[in-house]
A and B are shown apart, each in its own frame.
Chain A
Amino acid sequence: MGGSPVFSNFSQALLELFISSLWETIVMVGISGLVGALIGIPLGVFLRLTDEGGVLRNAGVNRVVGGLVNAVRSTPFIILLVAIIPLTRFLTGSSIGTAAAVVPLTIAAAPFIARLVEASLREVDHGLIEAAQAMGATTRQIVLKVLLPEALPGIVAGLTITFVSLTGYSAMAGAIGGGGLGDLGIRYGYQRFLPEVMLAVVLVLILFVQAVQSLGDWAVRRLSHK
């Protein structure tokens, strides 16, 4: 590796560490994003339906659920990470490691996705809902045949934002031994004074985020017929 003085400290072991860290990041972001979407999308639909102008208008319920969502969203992630350790231990059997980091990441992602989904659904013209009601559609049909398909490009754009944000959050997972690229950068680049490791981590993360964003943009373009 003599040709590149900056990366001359990159031993075989470090390279392997790099790959396993990248994999940990992908696992943490991927799983928490997907599970977060499974929770967040229905939650967002629920918020939209019960809100003013929704088909199941219910101000009381909307305020309670909305308040809960806001509470989770306003808790700093690093605090959330340690505050829910009992829950994490209950769900994964351990409070440390990559699997354990997925739990707080998911809990942070779900309300974030819920709000993004709610905002996308709000963009769907009320006239379309009216048209569906005039056809005799049930609430379930309005959601599945009108609201979600019409909001899909917006929802996918929201999920892309979520995946990018989760990539940033996952760097903090090192605090509970979650691993990942961010953790690698802190432990090797910062604590062991290996600035080139830090630089490499940042470069890989930039490429990673770029890839996620491009994939998301491509999907939105494919889905949108406006």
Chain B
Amino acid sequence: MKIAVCVKQVPEGTKRIDPATMRLDRSGEGALNPYDANAVEEALRVRESSAEGEVVLVSLGPASALDAIRKALAMGADRSVLVSDDAAAGSDLVATSYVLAAALEREGADLILFGQQAADSDGAVLWAAVADRLRLPLISQLADLAVEGGSVRGKRQTEFGYDVIEAPLPAVVAVSDAINEPRYPSLKGIMSAKKKPQETLTLAELGVDPSHAGEAGSRTTVLALGAPPPRGESRTIEDDGGAAGEIVAYLEEKRLL
């Protein structure tokens, strides 16, 4: 059982868009996207429940993304593949999914896992694009997961309750952050992470033409930055026993009652 987990490094702390490049400022400290930790945890659980298996991390990002990848290795993943190339910077969904799909094709995993969203772009869509490129079945928003007899089954959380869905392997699966509580890396895990195989590939080494990556391969663009519209006047009162009456008066004034 070979499991690939797609992980991403996201900026730590307050995020900002650099007005000069119109891209997310990735110059500061980076961290493993917290939602990806759920996917790594789930991969480790699947590996532990099967006789043998391998968990490989696949990522696209700057060379500094290795810091985030090492955290996932410290959790227990076996090795990593980072695609890092200046020509891939600024990739949108179309370009990112193209490059990741190429890296995943090279691995040929039985199960490809994603976390439920990226904490920086708020994107929650990449897996579907990757599944389409790999021509594999897709299940997203899984709140639990079981691998059995060549298929994966789980409970998908939707606006209308839960759908139990099953798909044959190989498959692409995105897990929700309700699926598990990610383990903390042990000291031993942290020490051994450094020695685990960590491959870094350029686009050329991956066999991806640069026209498919970065801005050249992207189909969306950021045009301008603005500020969110400010809210109107706000009022705060202390409850002296009459606050409920004041709320009713306010709601009537706003024609909400």
Question: Bound pair: A and B?
Answer: no
User: What is B's interface to A at a CB cutoff of 8 Å?
Assistant: none
User: What is A's interface to B at a CB cutoff of 8 Å?
Assistant: none
